[in-house]
């Protein structure tokens, strides 16, 4: 029965592996709420009172989350990322069951043929398990599927799809600057000084805009002290990577959706793509640059007729373009 014991140990270690990866992923993902940060900060500052206040803020935040029945990650964007409950869970469980049954066949099989067939299944399922483990490990530190709860329930679906507002009405800097930028609440007021109720959330969320700004919608005066809103950043590249929106959106004419997915369908913004180095390079290796702008006037002059340079030909594959 030595074999059976070994197999049990092997199985147990895979299960432990999977759960520990899942757990650490989930932890990384949930660490980013601002209330969590203020708690850590308060602890660092050492004030007992500050810690208590931060803890209270945390409970206020989490209870206000429960009061928002409409603030859910849309079904089609759940389970995008890794971790337990993520997209790998079901394949992993199936592979584990197949492995279990196949190992049973290997040990208890009546004939050599049965044993061989079971052995093949066992190896194949072990391959799948190893592959998933590899992907789970790779995803550590990345945030695909990350979708924090925001201080105001802001729905891109309501604004972009239902009310046809252009992305660049709000993300104004996206063509000129490295950052797309998040609109200030004054931009919201352009419409919400008039639109005071939503079909889904009533006046509950829109009134938060007024509260943050210290604005009184009935007198149209800023008569109370306001406070800055703390949107939680969803997409975060590591600090050692340089990324510039202007170059992609303006010069490269890359659509927002190629990197952010169908944001216009999201009630709550989710990081849709993996945003790994492979993700960047896969595009740079295939994508042709658009040379009909001033910058490429001279460059175009040096090209052979019919030559179509790709991003990699202008340095899109050089380490120092993205890391310096």
Which residue is nearest to ligand HEC, using beta carbons?
A: 198
Sequence-separated (6 or more) residues with CB below 8 Å from residue 29: 81, 83, 143, 145, 146
Q: Tell me the Cα Rg of the chain.
A: 26
CB of 298 to ligand HEC, least distance (A): 14
313 binds ligand HEC (CB under 6 A): no
Q: Which is nearer to ligand HEC, 125 or 143 (CB)?
A: 143
102 binds ligand HEC (CB under 6 A): no
In angstroms, the Cα distances linking 10 to 103, 119, 137 are 11, 16, 18
Q: Which listed residue (102, 249, 267, 270) binds ligand HEC by CB under 6 A?
A: 249
C-alpha angle 79-82-86 in degrees, rounded to nearest 5: 35
Q: Which listed residue (38, 82, 205, 267) binds ligand HEC by CB under 6 A?
A: 205
CB of 323 to ligand HEC, least distance (A): 5
172 binds ligand HEC (CB under 6 A): no
Binding to ligand HEC (CB under 6 A) within 266-305 occurs at 269, 275-277, 279-281, 283-284, 287, 289-290
Q: Which is nearer to ligand HEC, 49 or 324 (CB)?
A: 324
CB of 56 to ligand HEC, least distance (A): 24
Q: With CB under 6 A as the contact rule, which of the stretches 74-82, 89-97, 111-119, 236-244 interacts with ligand HEC? A: 236-244
Q: Which is nearer to ligand HEC, 50 or 200 (CB)?
A: 200
Full DSSP string of 64-94: HHHT-TT----GGGTT-SSSTTSTTHHHHHH
Sequence-separated (6 or more) residues with CB below 8 Å from residue 221: 215
201 binds ligand HEC (CB under 6 A): yes
231 binds ligand HEC (CB under 6 A): yes
Binding to ligand HEC (CB under 6 A) within 134-153 occurs at 142, 150, 152-153
Sequence-separated (6 or more) residues with CB below 8 Å from residue 59: none
64 binds ligand HEC (CB under 6 A): no
CA 187 – CA 210 distance, rounded (Å): 12
Q: Which is nearer to ligand HEC, 66 or 166 (CB)?
A: 166
C-alpha angle 185-154-226 in degrees, rounded to nearest 5: 30
Q: Where are the alpha helices (DSSP H) in the chain?
A: 2-30, 34-45, 48-66, 89-108, 112-138, 156, 167-170, 185-192, 206-213, 245-246, 256-260, 277-286, 297-301, 319-322
65 binds ligand HEC (CB under 6 A): no
89 binds ligand HEC (CB under 6 A): no
């Amino acid at each position: 029965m030595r074999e059976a014991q070994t197999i049990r140990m092997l199985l147990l270690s895979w299960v432990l592996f999977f759960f520990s990866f899942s757990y650490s992923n989930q932890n990384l993902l949930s660490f980013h709420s601002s209330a969590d940060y203020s708690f850590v900060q308060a602890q660092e500052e050492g004030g007992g009172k500050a810690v208590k206040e931060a803890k209270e803020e945390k409970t206020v935040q989490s209870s206000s989350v429960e009061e928002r029945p409409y603030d859910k990650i849309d079904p089609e964007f759940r389970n995008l990322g890794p971790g337990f409950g993520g997209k790998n869970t079901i394949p992993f469980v199936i592979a584990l069951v197949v492995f279990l049954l196949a190992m049973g066949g290997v040990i208890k099989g009546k004939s050599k043929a049965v044993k061989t067939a079971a052995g093949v299944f066992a190896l194949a399922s072990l391959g799948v398990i190893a592959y998933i483990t590899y992907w789970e490990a790779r995803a550590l530190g990345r945030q695909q599927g990350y979708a924090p709860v925001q201080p105001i329930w802001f729905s891109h679906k309501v604004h972009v799809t239902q009310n046809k507002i252009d992305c660049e009405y709000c993300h104004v800097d996206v063509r000129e600057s490295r950052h797309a930028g998040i609109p200030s609440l004054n931009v919201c007021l352009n419409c919400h000084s008039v639109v005071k109720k939503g079909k889904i959330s009533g006046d509950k969320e829109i009134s938060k805009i007024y509260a943050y700004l210290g604005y009184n919608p009935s007198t149209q005066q800023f008569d109370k002290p306001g406070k800055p809103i703390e949107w939680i950043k969803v997409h975060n590249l590591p600090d050692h990577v340089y990324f510039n929106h202007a170059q992609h959106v303006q010069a490269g004419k890359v659509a927002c959706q190629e990197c952010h997915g169908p944001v216009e369908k999201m009630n709550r913004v989710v990081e849709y793509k993996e945003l790994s180095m492979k993700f960047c390079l896969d595009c740079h290796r295939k994508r042709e640059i658009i040379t009909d702008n001033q910058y490429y006037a001279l460059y175009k002059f040096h090209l052979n007729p019919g030559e179509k340079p790709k991003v990699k030909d202008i340095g899109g594959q050089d380490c120092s373009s993205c890391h310096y």
